[in-house]
Structure 1
Amino acid sequence: MPGPYDQQIEDLLAQYRRQRDAAAETRRRINETTATVTAPRQTVKITVGAQGEVTAVEFPTGAYRRMAPRELADVLLTTLQQARAEALRSVAGVLADGLPPGVTVPDLLQGRIDPDAVLPEDPAMPDPVRDYVDHGFQGENHE
């Protein structure tokens, strides 16, 4: 015979699983985020990932050959900063729905958050509730 809380427990577990799946999906979308910025005069084109790591540097034209080393360095740094800022904006868009408690944007952006750590497959609960979930109600009068 089903216990008085079976449906509520099932609903809570289903909600928990949806939250856990959503967290994993958010992580996947962040990991796939990239941003590419091309400098004026197409001197350089830089692509970065969600964490700001440089994944590609291209020189679409020969314009860089006519630049002084310092000028080229400045263009590279400016373009890199713009690409990182664009990637951060993209990640912020992914996070628009909100983060679970205990998760910070810096930790998430630096890949230090594992969905299993925030939303483990087996949620924490008091021993009596765990026993009820695992074995059903086994009170003195209902064995």
Structure 2
Amino acid sequence: MSESMEAKLAQAMAELTAVQEAVARAEGELGQASATIRSRDRAVEVTVGPQGELTALKFPDNKYLNMTGPQLASSVMEAVQEGRSRMARRVIEVFEPLTRAGGGGATGIRGVDIDWDRAFGSALDDPAGGRRRSTARLHDEIHEDTD
């Protein structure tokens, strides 16, 4: 093997090691991460883990006692969706620098293109943005219905 080829291989191995270490740090950082969210009506509080899983569900101040089933369901769905969205954005924030081609020198994974929308789906819906979530629409309909 030529000296040039050996140098390139050594550099590639060093980059691979750096990437593996950066991924391990990111996974460690996210391993215990969570997001705790209250619904807009403050009737429901949820905690969502790093993979979007629901890890806790609370009903502060027993506000749910004065709600109909659909209202409570809407509040739960709203809070869970917002929690999933926050965790998805956090995961992207942590891992995205590792996927930039050539970004960060030895920490960039060349040629990797992650489709974050495909990876997280509806968890990335932004309630303040252009796309409205169906749970937000249901929530609005319940509050506007005065019959």
Decide: shared fold, TM above 0.5: yes
TM-score bucket of the superposed structures, by smaller chain: 0.5 to 0.7
Distance apart, 1:14 and its partner CA = 2.5
Residue identity in the other structure for 1:85: S
Partner of 1:65: 65
Residues 19 and 108 of structure 1, relative CA distance in 2, 3 Å threshold: farther
When the two chains are superposed, the root-mean-square deviation of aligned CA atoms in Å is 2.6
- 1:1-143 equivalences under 5 Å are 4=3, 9-99=9-99, 100=109, 101-102=111-112, 104=114, 105=116
Give distance in 2, aligned partners of 1:21 and 1:7. Answer: 21
User: Residue 41 of structure 2 contacts residue 75 of structure 2 at CA under 8 Å; is this kept in 1?
Assistant: no
Whichever structure has more helix as a proportion of its residues is 2
Structure 1 length as normaliser, TM-score?
0.61
Gaps of 5+ in 1: 110-143
Gaps of 5+ in 2: 100-108, 121-147
Residues 70 and 94 of structure 1, relative CA distance in 2, 3 Å threshold: same
Give distance in 2, aligned partners of 1:7 and 1:90. Answer: 37
Aligned length: 107
User: Residue 45 of structure 2 contacts residue 79 of structure 2 at CA under 8 Å; is this kept in 1?
Assistant: yes
Q: Flag the structure with larger Rg.
A: 1
Q: Which string of whole-angstrom CA distances, capped at 9 and with x for unpartnered residues, describes residues 68-110 of structure 1?
A: 111111111111111111111111111230323457458977x
Q: Which string of whole-angstrom CA distances, capped at 9 and with x for unpartnered residues, describes residues 27-51 of structure 1?
A: 2233333111111342110011122
Give distance in 1, aligned partners of 2:41 and 2:78. Answer: 14
User: Residue 33 of structure 1 contacts residue 91 of structure 1 at CA under 8 Å; is this kept in 2?
Assistant: no
Residues 107 and 45 of structure 1, relative CA distance in 2, 3 Å threshold: same
Secondary structure of the equivalent of 1:61? helix
Residue identity in the other structure for 1:16: L
User: Residue 36 of structure 1 contacts residue 83 of structure 1 at CA under 8 Å; is this kept in 2?
Assistant: yes
User: Residue 30 of structure 2 contacts residue 50 of structure 2 at CA under 8 Å; is this kept in 1?
Assistant: yes
